[in-house]
A and B are shown apart, each in its own frame.
Chain A
Amino acid sequence: MTKPWSITIASGGKWSGIIGRGKLICFTALEAGANVSIQFYNARDLTERYNMPDTLKAQYTAHLTKGNILMSDNGRAMASFVQDSLGWHDTISGYTSRLATDAKYGATNYQELRNEWLRSGQENFAVELVRSGLGMRDMMPVVNLFSKVSCDLEGKMHFAVDHCPAGAAVTLRTEMDVLMVLSNTPNPLDPREFYPSVPVKLEVLAAEPVHEQDACLNHRAENRRAFENTWEYYELSGF
């Protein structure tokens, strides 16, 4: 890519598209308190997708930040966290449903509010998955960028309300050709009574090739094996 491609996803907005391997996807929260829910699929084989448990187990973590990778259910590195101003992104809380959105923020509809009605992650994902020939059975745990959800010793989950300031930024590098499906809708555990989703800017540009000192490649031996699996896949397939 000669110059970055860019789009701003409005509050409640959605987007899906194929992003080839070897690109940087930079996300910037344009206001405080952002949350972007994302699902990832292998663009060339949509049955392969982001796997939350494998990602967390292999890296001995329950949150995501620089150095971490997103692993597929086929043991491959899909994307890497190469830059992160926040230190914590959530992947255990899922996305909002229509029922929960209405219950929490009050029922809204297009007929009264036009495009100001409150979208849910469930509906946003449903639309974008069907667009790519997928469906509800393909709904899986998401990565919630900009959100921090921690657990106390009893297992109780806590959403950190002041985690994301305006201007917070995180950059993912694609290690595979991915179908990225995103919904700019609240984290389900966000306790605030107003609909908190804020605009998020996306920029995509070319990444440097992964070099031997790369922080994500070297984060753990598990990460390296996942990269090796991805490289083997591309060598064998010739993609």
Chain B
Amino acid sequence: MGVFNRVESPRKAEEALYNEVVLAGDGWMHELKPGQVLRIVDLEGNQAADTLFYDADNPEDHYSAVATIAGQGNIYLTAGSVLRAESGKELLTIVADTCGRHDTVGGSCSAQSNAVRYAHEKLSMHNCRDTFMLQLAKHDGAYTKRDLAPNVNFFMNVPVTPEGGLKFDDGVSSPGAYVEMQSHGRTMVLISNCPQLNNPCNAYNPTPIRVLIWEK
């Protein structure tokens, strides 16, 4: 099933300038300055942190999953991966990763995709797209639904088979696993801590994540 690339970080939590918990199912939107490093910690294991990025100087240039994977010629994200915007611009680089592999093909859940994937009755359930949209709504119209592109699913494993199939092999993360990325410019980060209760991505039990930021 392929290699997992694990790289530890030298940064200490007590030296972070920002350190907060994002509760299960909640959202978080925050701007990184050039050089700043964001760590996302999977506190209890197997929680999906659905994450989008924007060039804060040009918000219409959103994260691009396909520009990112085509740019590195590999569908998995890990330490060394450069996260690119739709224009091809380099937004951030993953600098540490104790999980070893993250997905960016599977996208986020939404009320509509839950209804298609599981049952029409799932339409009312809480979902990542609603979390994203609530966060976008707090930015005075600077961001709209049109800015919601396919995202990164930190701590998720969604392998593509050589035959072109798609599998969901979750359970690759563990309590305390983290991923760290350094921002190249001013970057807006939008996280939905996935409330998905229909698939085993978070063992049917969404749990909190922690976000920390260092100056560099």
Binding site for B on A (CB under 8 A): 47, 51-54, 56-58, 60-63, 71, 73-76, 88, 92-94, 97, 99-100, 122, 134-142, 150-157, 188-189, 222, 225-226, 228-229
Contacts and interface: CB of A to CB of B under 8 A. Distances in A.
A160 to B, nearest CB: 11
Nearest to B104: A53
Among B107, B108, B110, B112, the one with the most A-chain Cβ atoms within 10 Å of its Cβ is: B112
B146 A53 contact: no
B165 A52 contact: no
- The 3 lowest CB-CB distance pairs between A and B, nearest first, are A53-B107, A75-B112, A94-B66
Interface in B149-184: 149-150, 159-167
Interface of B: 1-3, 59-62, 64-67, 69-70, 73-76, 86-88, 101, 105-108, 110-113, 115-117, 119-120, 129, 144-150, 159-167
A132 to B, nearest CB: 13
B157 to A, nearest CB: 11
B129 to A, nearest CB: 8
A63 B86 CA distance: 21
Nearest to B129: A73
B64 A94 contact: yes
7 contacts: A52-B107, A53-B107, A60-B166, A61-B164, A154-B2, A155-B74, A155-B101
A188 B69 CA distance: 11
A237 to B, nearest CB: 16
Contact of A62 (B3, B147, B164): B164
B117 to A, nearest CB: 5
The dominant DSSP class at the B interface is loop
A134 B144 CA distance: 13
B105 to A, nearest CB: 6
A92 B69 contact: yes
B153 to A, nearest CB: 9
A188 B145 CA distance: 27
B74 A157 contact: yes
A132 B162 CA distance: 38
A25 B48 CA distance: 38
Contacts of B161: 62, 151
Given A54-B113, A56-B166, A140 B120 contact: no
Contacts of B160: 62, 92, 151, 155
Contacts of A53: 65, 105-108, 150
Contacts of B165: 60-62
Contacts of A156: 73-74
Given A92-B69, A151-B162, A154-B2, 7 more contacts: A54-B112, A60-B165, A71-B116, A93-B69, A97-B67, A151-B161, A153-B2
A142 B106 CA distance: 15
B106 A56 contact: yes
Contacts of A140: 149-150
Contacts of A153: 1-2, 162
